[in-house]
Every structure is written in C-alpha cells, then in structure tokens.
C-alpha cells in the first residue's frame, strides 16, 4: 500500500460488516487510525446493543492483526449521546478526527400502501438522522479546531444510493432517506468549506446483507474466480481517496461506484424553460408544460421497473 492516509484518524459507521468493514480495512491498510463503529443489529435494525463487543471488535481485531491501529465503538450514532461519543472516541484515543465515513443503515422494505409509520421512522432515523448527528458533532469539532488555529484537512463521505437518486420500488422510506443524504451533503460542503471540511457522497452498488436480500442471485460472487464486480472492496478505494489529503478541492459531489466503474452524478439541472412574464391560466400552464416535456430528456427508470 502507498500510505495515502498515513497519520489520519478516520471514523467509519456501520463498519462491522459489508461496505463499512471494507472501508475500515482499506483505510487501515493505507495507514489510517480507525474508529470502527457498529451497533451489531440485524438487517432490519433489531437486536444488538451498546458496547464494543461483536462485529466492530472483530474488524478491530483484523486491523490490529495486520499491524494497524483501531478501536471499536458500539454506540448508537442516531442518538446525540452516541454521535458525541463517536467523535470523542477518535479524539480521546487518537488525538483528533480527520475523516468521517457515514455508512450505517438497514432496510425495512414495503410497498407504499403497506409501509407503516414505524418502518418509515426507523429507516429515516438510522440513515438520515444517523448521518446528521455524527456530521453535526464532527463539524462542531472541526469548527473549534479551525478557530483555534489548528485547522484540519477534514473529509466527510456520506452514503447515498441509486434508490435515493432514481427511486426504488418497494423502498419509499429508504429512497427518501438516501435522497435526503444527498441534500445534507451539499449543504455540508457549502457550509463547512470555510473550516477546511470537504463533503462528498457515494451511491455504491455491492454485495452486502442489504442487497443480497433485495436482489438475491444477481449479487452472487462469480463461480470459478475472476473479477467479482459486486465485492464491497471495489467501492472502498474511492472512499479512501475521498477521505485523504489527495482529494483536495473535491467537494459537494456525488459518485456512483460499482465494480470497476465510477460515475460523477450531475444531479438536478435546469432543463427546457419558458417564461411569459405573466400569470398563466391552468390550460396555458398545461400546454406550456407539455411543450417543455417534449423537449426534455426522459427520466431514468426507477429501480424495480426495468
């Protein structure tokens, strides 16, 4: 490895398994000191509990066995106390915080007519609030450091999804939360740049507990070896680069990444437009809308409809 993150302190949430585990191991391999957060819950968020034991400690053991430095954090990052203690774990153990990777999440998939309020709230809580609270406490730390003349080249990598960019049938709660994460990322990039913080988001596709339940055999590893396009480890190199000093100047961006592919997503941009300078009647507004739609690019299909 190149030591791209040598000396940096990195926090990864939801790092006990899947993408988070791959990110934590990849950062450690590049010289970072890593706080491995995982609550140890099931795929739907059930079970688990506070404390460092469980999957987070397993990843720490992997890192230390390879000669790296890591510490486990078992707190609930969707609570103010858990998020605050997460940042404190980095500062108290390793003397600071340079990179925050928000990755934790779970699924409670339902079609909209069957989607209960509890399932909505639980997914919003872990994905959207679970991004906001660690980011808020990390930002508070970085602002204080900058004001004290100890500014850091801080990095935030948030985890959105193709579901958040295009929508996904049966995942109204998840898609809405992941879309919210993109908005949160753009605001963080705009607000925190003055303190040396860069914020970007990824929309990864990889084989994890979540995707295996949703897509089944399409996520399976290839038989007989060869390149495993769905391996979580394929996503981590971009995350490590975004979390390093080498990404200087890259902020407010969203990247899709899958296998060997990286795509810069360009988001909402103004398309065809018309302005009469006066109020329209409903019929006139409709005629204008239809004319503009005829000139517009068709939307990308929602996942689950193609």
Q: How far apart are CA 104 and CA 162, in angstroms?
A: 16
Burial category of 295 from C-beta neighbours within 10 Å (exposed 0-12, middle 13-18, buried 19 and up): exposed
Marked catalytic residue, from 160, 168, 174, 244: 174
Long-range contacts of 246-252 (CB under 8 A, 24+ apart): 246/4, 247/155, 247/198, 247/200, 248/153, 248/198, 249/198, 250/198, 250/200, 251/189, 251/193, 251/198, 251/199, 251/200, 252/185, 252/186, 252/189, 252/190, 252/199, 252/200
- Point out the catalytic residue in the list 129, 160, 168, 178: 178
174 is catalytic: yes
Taking residue 142's Cβ as centre, other Cβ atoms within 10 Å add up to 24
70 DSSP assignment: E
Can 178 be counted among the known catalytic residues?
A: yes
Active-site pick, 160, 161, 168, 236: 161
Active site (catalytic) residues: 161, 174, 178
């Amino acid at each position: 490895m190149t030591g791209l993150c040598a000396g940096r302190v990195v926090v990864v949430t939801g790092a006990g398994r899947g993408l988070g585990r791959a990110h934590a191991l990849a950062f450690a391999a590049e010289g970072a000191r890593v706080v491995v957060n995982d609550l140890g819950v099931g795929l739907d968020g059930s079970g688990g509990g506070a404390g460092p034991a469980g999957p987070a400690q397993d990843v720490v053991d992997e890192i230390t066995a390879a000669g790296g430095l890591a510490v486990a954090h078992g707190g609930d990052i969707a609570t103010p106390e858990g998020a605050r203690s997460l940042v404190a774990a980095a500062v108290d153990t390793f003397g600071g915080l340079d990179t925050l990777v928000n990755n934790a999440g779970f699924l409670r998939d339902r079609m909209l007519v069957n989607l209960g309020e509890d399932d909505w709230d639980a997914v919003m809580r872990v994905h959207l609030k679970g991004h906001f609270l660690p980011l808020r406490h990390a930002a508070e730390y970085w602002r204080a450091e900058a004001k004290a003349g100890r500014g850091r080249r801080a990095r935030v990598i948030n985890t959105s999804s193709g579901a958040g960019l295009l929508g996904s049938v049966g995942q109204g709660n998840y898609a809405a939360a992941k879309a919210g994460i993109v908005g949160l990322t753009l605001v963080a990039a705009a607000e925190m740049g003055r303190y040396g913080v860069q914020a970007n988001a990824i929309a990864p596709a990889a084989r994890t507990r979540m995707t295996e339940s949703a897509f089944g055999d399409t996520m399976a590893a290839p038989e007989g070896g060869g390149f495993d396009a769905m391996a979580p480890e394929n996503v981590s190199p971009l995350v490590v680069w975004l979390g390093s000093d080498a990404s200087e100047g890259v902020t407010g961006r969203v990247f899709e990444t899958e296998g060997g592919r990286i795509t810069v997503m360009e988001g909402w941009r103004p398309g065809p437009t018309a302005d009469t300078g006066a109020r329209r009647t409903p019929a006139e507004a409709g005629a204008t809308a239809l004319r503009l739609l005829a000139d517009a690019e068709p939307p990308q299909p929602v996942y689950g409809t193609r």
